[in-house]
Structures are given as structure tokens and as C-alpha cells.
Amino acid sequence: MNELVFFINNVLVSGSVSGSIYAIGAVGVTLVFSIMRFAHFAHADMMTFGAFMVLLLTSVFPGAGAAFGVPTALVMLPLAMALTALLAVGIDRAFYKPLRAHGVKPIVLVIGSLGVTLMLQGLIRLFSGTGGQSLYVDDRKEIFRLALPIEGVRVPVVITEPQFYLFVLTIVAVVALHLFLSRSRLGKAMRAMSDNPDLAQASGINTNTIVAVTWVIVGGLAAIAGTLLSLDVTFKPDLSFFLLLPIFAAAIVGGVGRPYGAIAGGFVVGFAETLAVFNWSVMLRPFRDSLPEWLLQSGNLAFVGTEYKIVVPFFILVAILIWRPTGIFKGKVI
């Protein structure tokens, strides 16, 4: 049973953590894709920007969280979301809109978004320095140890405070997005535009408004994902390059342009990563009496070392592009 708890701690919890973050990130990427039809590479840096805004605000008002009984970073999150949304709309006005007006190919917009990536990265590094910083400026990270009421289990299930908030916020964000897309007028207009932009425009939907609303949502989601990730580990300005591949893999696995697919894809990629780096020889230990000797000899039965974690999303990406380029949920574009 101890092995099972070990499995829960190392696979279920950490898989859900990275899965949630990839899911929220992939939803943003897929929303941009469904409305504006290009792969938005600057998304991961918008996440970093959101986390950086939280870091700044938290350092300015370190005591604000105590009034609500939660970490200060979470109190500052709505403000950071607003700022990131503003940034997203501003970036679109300044860089993407003129390119769209020129009627360029989507791939030129992709290159433009890479330019924006570098600019954001440069700015963040200029102001934050290159080292890592904790978002817990004045607070203390609490760690919950849940002992299982089963005979013979010595190891508790461990969940840290930011992980708990991460699960809660992910569920809130997903439900809110679902309600917005399925109930509100704007959400329905967004879906209409994603299905057929010309028809949407002809039936009186203001596409400029929809684009702006999309960027607001994308910016907000990016800020949530970046902050939650930085809460769980630390804030680093070069987070983005390691996030890009899993997020895009998640969006493509779920079917590009399908928000619910992106959520599923995020968890697929997150769990695949943790399962691949998990050392399976631990799970064989309870059966050591009935297994052949040679199988137990090598102490390391992980598929890839943690240093090759980035191979996993790439492998998933390649596999999905070969066998089912539209993704699990039949995305629109190939």
C-alpha cells in the first residue's frame, strides 16, 4: 500500500498539477487559433508576464493576503489578470492587427508572435533579472499531509497549499469558460466566428469586438496558468520555452480550435509526462517474491530520465500528427 501512496504522490498529484497548467494554457492557444487562425507562440510569455505582474504586486503589498486568509499572490491574481488581458489586447492592436489588415499568410503572424515572444522575454528579464524568485514573498507555503486510515500505510498523501488552490482555480476557470461559451451572447458569437468567420460577419457579429474579447479571455487565462505554475515552483523569466511544446502538443492532441479538447489534451500530456518519468520499479516491489530476478535487478525502470521530459510532449505531438492530425476531438484545421 505504501507503494500505492507513492504512486498517488508522484503520478496522480503531480500529473494533475502539470495537466491543469497545460490545460489552461492550451485553452488559450486553441482560442486564438479558432478565432484568428494562427499558432500564437507568445502565449507562454503572456503566462510569464501574468506571473511577473503577480510577483510585482505581491512585493508591493506583501501583507494584503492576511486580510483574506489566503496567500497574497492569489489576492493579486485578478488584478494581474486584468493587466495581462490589457497587454494582450495592446499587443494585438500594435502588432497582429496591422499584419491581419495586410492580409498576410498565417505563418507570418506566427513569426510576428515569435517577435512578440522575444520582446516580452527581454522586458521581463530586464526588470526581474534572470534568477528565480518565489511568489510567496511574505507568506509561508503550507503542506497538507493526509494520512490514509489504512493499516500498514506509513506514508501520507502530500499536497501543498498552491497545488490545492491550483485544482480549485482550474475547476473554476473551466466552469466559467464553459458557461461563457455556451450561455452568453458573446460566447455564442465567438463560437459562430470560429465556425465560419464570413458567415458570422454577414449575420451582424462585430468581429473586432470578438477579437478583443478573445484576447481578454486569453490574457486572463494566461495569467492564471502562469501564476499557478509559479506558485507551485518558482517564478523564472525563462519558463516559456519549456512550456511552449507541451501546450501546443496539448492543443493539437485535443483538436485545434476545440476548447474542451484542449483541456483533455492538457491532462493527457501532463499525465504522459509524469508516467514517463516515473520509476516503475517501485511498483514492482510488492511482487518481488513472484517476479524473476533479472527484472528486479535494474533499479531504474523509468521510460525517460527527468532531463528528457521534453521528449514526451514531442513524441505525443509526432504520434498524433501521424495517426490523427485533427486530434481526438476532430479539430478543424490540418
Q: Which of 79, 111, 153, 296 binds other proteins (CB under 8 A)?
A: 111
Under the criterion CB under 8 A, does residue 322 sit at the interface with other proteins? yes
Q: Residue 145, SS3? A: strand
Q: Which of 70, 82, 119, 282 binds other proteins (CB under 8 A)?
A: 119
Which of 4, 108 has the CB closer to other proteins?
108
Q: How far is the CB of 194 from other proteins (least distance, A)?
A: 16
DSSP 156: P
**Range 21-39 burial, b when 16+ CB lie within 10 A, else e:** bbbbbbbbbbbbbbbbbbb
Which of 78, 98 has the CB closer to other proteins?
98
Which of 45, 139 has the CB closer to other proteins?
45
- Binding-residue total with other proteins (CB under 8 A): 54
Under the criterion CB under 8 A, does residue 39 sit at the interface with other proteins? yes
Under the criterion CB under 8 A, does residue 99 sit at the interface with other proteins? yes
Which of 85, 250 has the CB closer to other proteins?
250
Which of 74, 243 has the CB closer to other proteins?
243
DSSP 253: H
Q: Which of 241, 285, 288, 330 binds other proteins (CB under 8 A)?
A: 241
CA-to-CA separations, 298 to 289, 292, 295, 321, 331, in angstroms, rounded = 16, 12, 7, 34, 42
Under the criterion CB under 8 A, does residue 328 sit at the interface with other proteins? no
Give CA–CA dist 265/250, Å, rounded. Answer: 4
Are 247 and 22 in contact by the 8 Å Cβ rule? The answer is: yes
Under the criterion CB under 8 A, does residue 90 sit at the interface with other proteins? no
Residue with cell 516491489: 285
SS (H, E, C) 57-89: HHHHCCCHHHHCCCCHHHHHHHHHHHHHHHHHH
Q: Residue 178, SS3? A: helix
Residues making contact with other proteins (CB under 8 A): 38-39, 41, 95, 98-99, 102, 104-108, 110-112, 114-123, 125-126, 129-130, 241-242, 244-245, 248-249, 252, 298, 300-301, 303, 305, 307-308, 310-311, 313-314, 317-318, 321-322, 325, 333-334
